[in-house]
Amino acid sequence: MTAQALQAPAARRGVPLIDGIDKVTGRARYTADLDHAGALVGRIFRSPVSHGDIVRLDVSKARALDGVIAVITGEDCPHSYGVLPIAMNEYPLARSRVRYRGEPVAAVAAVDAATAQRALELIEFHVRELPAYYTSEDARAPGAALLHDDKPGNLEREVHHTFGDVEAGFAAADLVREESFTCAEVNHAQIEPHAALAEFDALTGRLTMQSVSQVGYYLHLMLARCLDMDAARIRVVKPFIGGGFGARVEVLNFEIITALLARASAGKVMMTLTREENFLTHRARPHTDTRIKLGLRRDGRITACACEVVQRGGAYAGYGIVTILYAGALLHGLYAIPAVKYDGYRVYTNLPPCGAMRGHGGVNTRHAFERLLDRMARELDLDPFAVRRANLLQAPMRTLNELMVNSCGLPECLEKVERASRWRERIGNLPRGKGLGMACSHYVSGAAKPIHFTGEPHAVVNLKLDFDGGVTALTGAADIGQGSSTMVAIAVAETLGVSLERVRVIAGDSAVTPKDNGAYSSRITFMVGNAAIDAARNLKAVLAAAAARKLDARNEDVECGGEMFRVGSGAQSSLAFAEVVKAVLAEEGTVTVKGTFTCPPEAQGGKHRGGAVGATMGFSYAAQVVEASVDEATGRTTVDKVWVALDCGRAINPLAVSGQIEGSVWMGMGQALSEETRYVDGLPVHASLLEYRVPTCAESPPIEVHIVESRDPLGPFGAKEASEGALAGFAPALANAIANAVGLELDELPLTPDRVMAALMERRRQRRLSAARKVA
Amino acid sequence: MPPDGPTAKKRLLCLNVNGCARKDAVAENALLLNYLREVARLTGVKAGCDGGECGACTVLVDGAAVPSCLTLAIRCEGKRVETIEGLAAHGRLHRLQRAFHERLGTQCGFCTPGMIMAAEALLRRRAHPSDEEIRIALSGNLCRCTGYVKIIESVHAAAEAAP
């Protein structure tokens, strides 16, 4: 790849992942594949009750069993942990109280799995049960027992934000409607189950941790905190990771437990969780009740929005505060709305804790918003595209809640999917049972204010150039399958003007790579990409200076491309990359340079409480059309085709961008069609991939992707995020398509056959009733 | 997963794995998945679920795609077992591996070995499968990253390439 490649987007297909060959050959080592010769097997004893005070926990029999090396309980770790510094209310192993079925209580390390399992069966555990709550409503009821003594009403956080004059907005509307929507809790269901390998060297007091974390840096911090260790004695290494989707952004209890077991047994412990335990570990998108009210003028302009969101958060804080803030903040930034009121409630319940999941916080609110907007458009006899076009925002601008919008390709996204789906010819002309629906969505390109605010740059990339002529990029950014290491390699190669093969990327090893805030909020391309470009520019400056000395030219006259340094166009005035490297190394030895990226304060959101959440340097924008068929005999919905356009600023690797868009649309489809966690008295009854219905290949539609490039002024080469923005639009587009197909307004996700059938039967009943009334 | 610790009763298993004859003492209740991963050290065979849910452990037994997590190792006596590690030969990627790599049929890569083995079983019985045939043949293999779009493209591309 040369510098010209990025300048001709139409001709660019993109490049395969730089670690793709390892994946297709089975060579790639994921955590469970690591060499665990001599490692003990770790297992976790989990609470069988939903809520209660621990009366007795006796592990003596387990400890006495032959082959058991260590047994630990909450006594072994008095330090709480959590992802938000202001809300660390969880212990790796429960202390004095359990708050959900499946909460870790004790753990064993044994010579083999069978022994570890027998040891768990010997643990004696008695609990004085407390009332348990499995719905937000029950947990918030007056007089409900508190899960956490400092949280009255079992509310983790209330948010009340009003921007603009909402009452005046509704008064100015020609149509005001208010509806309620319910979205079931869903899970990431990444295909690689959680695993960790910890090795504690008792002689040196050093811990090496290899785990599935999306943010090795958080894991590092929490290990130091929970094990009371000097962080300098800890090394966190990222093996290949089999998907994340937010599941592994928070430090997870089993990771700390594995490290505690390794220290207690003065050795190496491998912990692999079952699929059922993955569902218990959870941290995904909460069950959400949304009540939303919109005001619309006859011309389609939105005059005001009021939205109330209640999230069933589970037993501990996790990311809860951020999720409930995102749900409100992301009402902004997609359309120009003059007044927005938001009331959010994050509720503690006796269920596995929720957390961050792809499209964090924005997905369920967007569903409600796009559904109601579509219904109101129909009532006003407005086309769904027209009503959205009537509310486009003009970049650059600042939203009411002080979010920066520097580029917006939504108009082009709308045009692309309208044309590709032949919307105008086909809408209203499809046979009964078949429908078209559309929706828009957006997402942040990284949180401009990190959760652990330290004042440091948001991203650092180091480059090393050595005698072999190879350029090694060192980054803490976690490639979890999204292709971030490939993006770093392209950014460096493009900037230096060298071939992609010359660049090697080493990612995620705290002993070697600079600290990175990790793979979350779609931050890597924007932040780490910019840092990689900065590092490559710094390296290029060193090389160009050496080339200038050799060519007897001024630094600024030296150009680099195609692995050649040139002054003007003459053959006599050029040097091959290898010659320049030789010259530089002769002068100063191995070259190491650093590049950084920092989000300026003006990008970090408003001054109101919680104003930093939602703040970003660049929003991606997406529009999609879904074609669906509804079988009125069975209630089954089939997605026939999806057309999606996403404005990612600029596609640094179009192949990876289209892969991310397809994956995010499809994940939205899973939530819309079939995915749902279910609990009976706190017991998960969905905890396998048979019960938790991830769409298979057989029921997944063709997805036609259109990439829109708005060239963000601050993004690396103009790029923004591409992995999350399209997700939130799928569910409302599908529900809108079902409304178009069979005239049903379905307000509850997922749109399973039983829900569709119930709505069809209810409509038939109503029709019979009204016919009977007419006869009477 | 049944315990297959040191106390389990063992039997001598003779089979062919990726073209090589092997003889190993294996527990009678050992799963093929655990035998391949722990004894033969073929960690390209992945465990993604608690049994028969996800297809990540798919291998070929006498040419048929089977979930190795639902297969007892001793049932493979005298059989030919093929895993992802057996596909690339003489420094060349197999056509499915090349297609999945070049067309991004793999993202995180965890489902990929099982997916490729299931696709290989399909291509051996149908040289040029239709979209529908690919969708049905791979419907036991879950992928959480790709939405399957580029997986189907990859299988078509492999079918068009010389074996």
CA-based nearest distance B96→chain A, Å: 9
In chain B, whose CA is at the least distance from the CA of A691? B53
Among A560, A578, A598, give the residue marking a domain's end.
A598
pLDDT computed for residue A304 by the predictor: 98
Chain B contact set for A480 (CB, 8 A): 108
- B-facing residues of A in 170-189 (CB < 8 A) are 188-189
Whether A412 shows a pLDDT value over 50: the answer reads yes
pLDDT attached to residue A5: 47
Instruction: Work out the percent of chain A whose per-residue pLDDT is above 90.
Output: 94
| Chain A interface, best mutation among B149, B154, B155, B156, by max A CB count within 10 A | B149
Same domain, A439 and A462: no
Q: Is the ipTM of this complex over 0.90?
A: yes
Q: CB contact, 8 Å: A667 with chain B?
A: yes
Domains of chain B: 10-83 (3.10.20.30), 95-160 (1.10.150.120)
> Are B142 and A482 an interchain contact pair (Cβ–Cβ within 8 Å)?
no
For residues B46-58, average pLDDT = 96
Q: Which of A573, A598, A623 is the last residue of a domain?
A: A598
Residues A77, A13 share a domain: no
Residues of chain A found within 8 Å of residue B4, distances taken between Cβ atoms: 114
Residue A6 has pLDDT above 80, yes or no: no
For chain A positions 226-245, those within 8 Å of chain B (CB to CB) are 240-243, 245
Q: Does residue A641 share a domain with residue A727?
A: yes
Verify that A482 and A578 share a domain, yes or no: yes
The verdict on residue A736 lying in a domain is yes
Tokens of A722: 């591409």
pLDDT, residue B4, reads 53
Question: Does the pLDDT at position B50 exceed 80?
Answer: yes
If you count residue pairs, one on A and one on B, with CB atoms under 8 Å apart, how many are there? 186
pLDDT of residue A573: 85
Q: Are residues A435 and A462 in the same domain?
A: no
Say if residue A409 is in the same domain as residue A477. no
Report which of A228, A234, A224 is spatially closest to residue A199, judged by C-alpha positions.
A234
CB within 8 Å: A694 and B136: no
Question: Taking CB atoms and an 8 Å limit, are B7 and A114 in contact across chains?
Answer: yes
Residue A506: inside a domain: yes
Asked if A403 and A489 sit in the same domain, the reply is no
Single-letter amino acid code for the residue at A595:
G
CB spacing of A666 vs B146 below 8 angstroms: yes
Domain holding A38, by residue range, is 34-130+201-242+248-265
**A544/A502 same-domain check:** yes
Residue B118 has pLDDT above 90, yes or no: yes
Percentage above 90 pLDDT, chain B? 91
Contact A188 B47 (CB under 8 A): no
Q: Do A26 and B84 touch (CB under 8 A)?
A: yes
**Closest Cα of chain B to A110: distance in Å?**
12
Closest to B109 (Cβ–Cβ): which among A242, A663, A666?
A: A242
Does residue A573 lie within any of the structural domains?
Answer: yes
Spell out a b/e string for A261-283, using b for 16 or more CB atoms within 10 Å of the CB, else e.
bbbbbebbbbbbbbbbbbbbbbb
pLDDT at position A657, please? 98
Each residue of A329-367: b (16+ CB within 10 Å) or e? bbbbbbbbbbbbbbbbbbbbbbbbbbbbbbbbbbbbbbb
Neighbours of A556 (CB within 10 A): 8
- Residue of A28, A274, A690 with shortest CB distance to B109: A28
Is the distance from CB of A334 to CB of A440 less than 8 angstroms? yes
Q: Which of A580, A598, A616 is the last residue of a domain?
A: A598
Whether residues A243 and B4 touch (CB distance < 8 A) is answered with no
Say whether A571 sits in a helix, a strand or coil.
Answer: helix
- Using one digit for the tens of pLDDT, what is the confidence trace for A166-223? 999 999 999 999 999 999 999 999 999 999 999 999 999 999 999 999 999 999 999 9
A9 domain-assigned: yes
Q: Domain containing A105 — which CATH number?
A: 3.90.1170.50
Residue A439: inside a domain, yes or no? Answer: yes
Predicted local distance difference test score (pLDDT) of residue A13: 86
pLDDT tens profile B10-34? 999 999 999 999 999 999 999 999 9
Asked if the model's pLDDT at residue A672 lies above 70, the reply is yes
Cβ(A324)–Cβ(A610) below 8 Å: no
**How close, in Å, is residue A674 to chain B by CA atoms?**
14
Whether A328 is covered by a domain: the verdict is: yes
A638 dihedral zone (left: phi>0; alpha: psi -120 to 50; beta): beta
Determine the Cα–Cα distance for residues A459 and A356; give it in Å rounded to an integer.
21
How confident is the model over A661-666, as a mean pLDDT? Answer: 98
Question: Could you report the per-residue pLDDT of A570-586, keeping only the tens digit for each?
Answer: 656 899 999 999 999 99
CA–CA min distance B77, chain A (Å): 24
Alpha-carbon span A522 to A519, nearest angstrom? 7
Phi/psi region, residue A658 (left: phi>0; alpha: psi -120 to 50; beta: rest), is alpha
Chain B residues with beta carbon closer than 8 angstroms to that of A27: 44
A294 plus A260 within the same structural domain: no
Confidence check: pLDDT of A3 > 50:
no
Q: How many domains does chain A have?
A: 3
Domain presence at residue A276: no
Q: Do B112 and A24 touch (CB under 8 A)?
A: yes
Q: Say yes or no for a CB contact (<8 Å) between B147 and A702.
A: no
* A107 shares a domain with A254: yes
Nearest residue, CB atoms, B135 vs list A26, A29, A697: A697
* Residue B5 confidence (pLDDT): 59
Note if the bond before A654 is cis, omega within 30 degrees.
Answer: no
Q: Do A402 and A459 have their domain in common?
A: no
Minimum distance, in Å, between the CA of residue A93 and any CA atom of chain B = 24
Q: Say how far apart CA A18 and CA B78 lie, in whole Å.
A: 39
Tens digits of residue pLDDT in A287-326 = 999 999 999 999 999 999 999 999 999 999 999 999 999 9
- Closest by CA to A682, choosing from A223, A351, A453, is A351
Residue environment code for A113-127, b if the CB has 16+ CB neighbours within 10 A, otherwise e: bbbbbbbbebbebeb
Q: What is the CATH number of the domain that holds A499?
A: 3.30.365.10
pLDDT band of residue A517 (cuts 50, 70, 90) is very high
| Cross-chain residue pair A191–B144, CB shorter than 8 Å | yes
The separation between the first and the last C-alpha atoms of chain B, rounded to the nearest angstrom, is 37
* Nearest-CA distance B14 → chain A (Å): 24
Residue type, A165: D
**Burial class of residue A88, CB neighbours in 10 A (0-12, 13-18, 19+):** middle
Domain match, A636 and A756 both? yes
* Contact between B109 and A22 using a beta-carbon 8 Å cutoff: yes
Residue A7 has pLDDT above 80, yes or no: no
For residue A351, being part of any structural domain is answered with yes
Q: Give the pLDDT of residue B2.
A: 46
Residue A516: pLDDT band (50, 70, 90) is very high
For chain B, say whether A351 makes contact (Cβ under 8 Å): no
Cα first-last separation, chain A: 78
